[in-house]
Amino acid sequence: MYDYIRGKLIGKSRAGLTVETGGIGYLLEVTARDLAAAAIGEEGKVYTTLIHREDKMSLCGFLQREARDIFNILISVSGVGSRMALTLLDEFEPSELIGLVIEGNFKELTRAKGVGPKLAQKIILELKDKLMNYAGAAPVKTSTKQDAGAIEDAQTVLISLGYSRDEIKSAIEKCTLKDNACAEEILKQALKILSV
């Protein structure tokens, strides 16, 4: 419903970050990382997701689009609510989290508070297919000198996050990668470029 809110960052509290725009103050649940990074008194753009449950409605906010997109994928896993997804994004950078899921590294996922081995394995089981077998079109052709499989894997994940084929091609071509970089490294750099 809301893609982002642009306004003045006017307050931080345990409940979250308050953004004022059009005379309305929106209280957003955010990660501790974003709360610390928010510059109070400055204008800012916060990407949002509306959470609607039987007992309450809330807005979750993110300073970077890719964090919001990963959050939306995380909450699609049964047993992962908005708080757990925020906890995961507090512990891991979005590209790191994607890499752990693709690698199937459930032990590393258990570093996040409240994530046990069973939930970590469930997250990997449900998300690996969503990230890697996204029903997208053929890979985007780029002029980079990288392993085609790694580029294709990175592109598939970026498509599943909602980026357009033109955005992906442009971002991957702007990456400064060593020869034969892995999909995770391509993703990490491409996400940084796309978040600007």
CATH of the domain at 70: 1.10.150.20
Find the mean pLDDT for residues 84-91. 94
Structure-block tokens of residue 94: 């979005």
Distance CA 121, CA 101 (A): 9
Mean pLDDT of the chain, nearest integer: 84
- Single out the residue of 108, 68, 113, 106 nearest to residue 87, CA to CA: 113
Percent of the chain with pLDDT over 70: 91
Is position 138 within any domain?
Answer: no
Last residue of a domain, one of 23, 42, 62: 62
Find the mean pLDDT for residues 147-173. 81
Is position 42 within any domain?
Answer: yes
Distance CA 110, CA 139 (A): 33
Distance CA 172, CA 190 (A): 6
Same domain flag for 123 and 86: yes
Find the mean pLDDT for residues 72-92. 91
Mark residue 162 as left, alpha or beta (left: phi above 0; alpha: psi -120 to 50; beta: remaining): left
Contact 32, 88 (CB under 8 A): no
CATH number at residue 30: 2.40.50.140
Same domain flag for 90 and 124: yes
Contact 146, 179 (CB under 8 A): yes
What pLDDT digit, counting tens, does each position of 89-143 carry? Answer: 999 988 888 888 888 888 999 999 999 999 999 999 888 777 765 434 344 444 4
Least confident segment among 25-39, 41-55, 154-168: 154-168
- The pLDDT value given to residue 145: 54
Same domain flag for 74 and 112: yes
169: containing domain: 148-191
The tally of domains found in the chain comes to 3
- The pLDDT value given to residue 143: 47
Is position 141 within any domain?
Answer: no
Find the mean pLDDT for residues 22-50. 94
Q: Which helix (H) or strand (E) holds 77?
A: none
Least confident segment among 46-50, 127-131, 145-149, 161-165: 145-149
Q: Which residue has the higher pLDDT, 6 or 65?
A: 6
- The pLDDT value given to residue 95: 80
- The pLDDT value given to residue 147: 67
